[in-house]
Structure 1
Amino acid sequence: MEFEITSDTRNELLGRRELRFILTYDGATPSRKEIRGKLCALNNINENLVVLDSLRTGYGRMQLDGFMRIYDTEEGRQRTERSYLLNRGEPKKEEEEA
């Protein structure tokens, strides 16, 4: 996987950085968890502060365009982001039958 960051802007009002990137990959499309982990490792940031908003692939292309937000605090992330985006890409919790 190779990342190319096309845009990196700072949103002071919401306390976050907004990144647009292009990911080039071989084989199957990587999962959201793999992409988030790799981007966090490259930028040396905590995964709890990151939200992957959109990932768009094209037919026959081995690359995708993505949009990611990096918050200053986890509280700001919880306050600002929609709940389905916070849960997207996380493993589903199994319901316990009692």
Structure 2
Amino acid sequence: MEFEITRDVRNEVLNRRELVFTLTFDGPTPSRKSIQEKLAAMLNKNENLLVLDSLKTRFGKMEVTGRARIYDDEESRKSTERDYLLKRGEPKVESEA
């Protein structure tokens, strides 16, 4: 996986960095979790403070275009982000039937 950050803007009002990136890969499309881990490691940030907003792939291309937000602290992330975006990428809890 190879990242290219095409836009990096600091949003002081919401205490976050807003990124637009292009990811090229070989093989199957990487999972949201693996993209989140790799991007956090590349930027040297805590992956719990990084939220992936949208990921778009195009047919026939080994490329993903996405948007991410990196918050300064957990409180800012929880007060700003929508719940469904926070739940995406988390491992699913198996219920006992």
Pairwise same-fold verdict (TM > 0.5): yes
The residue type equivalent to 2:59 in the other structure is Y
State the 4+ residue runs in structure 1 displaced beyond 3 angstroms: none
Gaps of 5+ in 2: none
Letter in 2 for 1:92: K
Long gaps (5+) in structure 1: none
Amino acid at match of 2:9: T
Compute the displacement of 1:94 (Å).
1.6
Letter in structure 1 aligned against 2:78: Q
The Cα of 1:89 is off from its aligned counterpart by: 1.0
- Amino acid of the residue matched to residue 44 of structure 1? N
- Aligned identity (percent) is 65
Partner of 2:27: 27
TM-score of the two chains, using structure 1 as the length reference: 0.96
> What does residue 52 of structure 1 align with?
52
Rounded Cα–Cα distance in structure 2 between residues aligned with 1:96 and 1:76:
34
Cα distance in 2 for partners of 1:44, 1:92 equals: 26
